[in-house]
Amino acid sequence: MSKMNKCILVRSVTYAQKARRLLEQNNIKSTVCKQLRASRYGCAWCVIVDESLQGRALDILGRGGVMMTGDVYYV
């Protein structure tokens, strides 16, 4: 994946699916993905969005009640 994408970690696969749906409703394309990096969580889920939309995506997800871990990184 290009470094132009950001991976937003969420608390569960259910929240990942919810995140994708919320973003889609707001015309932001995203992909549900298992977290690729090893981390302190072990298995984790994320949604991947275009870097330029990160701020807007985080706002939408926060207001939409998606529980995020707070980790966001490049993919």
Residue ranges binding other proteins (CB under 8 A): 11-18, 21, 32-34, 36, 40-45, 65, 67
- Asked whether 1 and 35 are in contact (CB, 8 A), the reply is no
For the CB of residue 15, give the shortest distance to other proteins in the complex, in Å: 7
CA 74 to CA 5: how far, in whole Å? 6
The sign one gets for the Cα dihedral 38, 39, 42, 44 is negative
CB of 12 to other proteins, least distance (A): 5
Least distance in angstroms from the C-beta of 51 to other proteins: 21
74 sits in which H/E element: strand 68-74
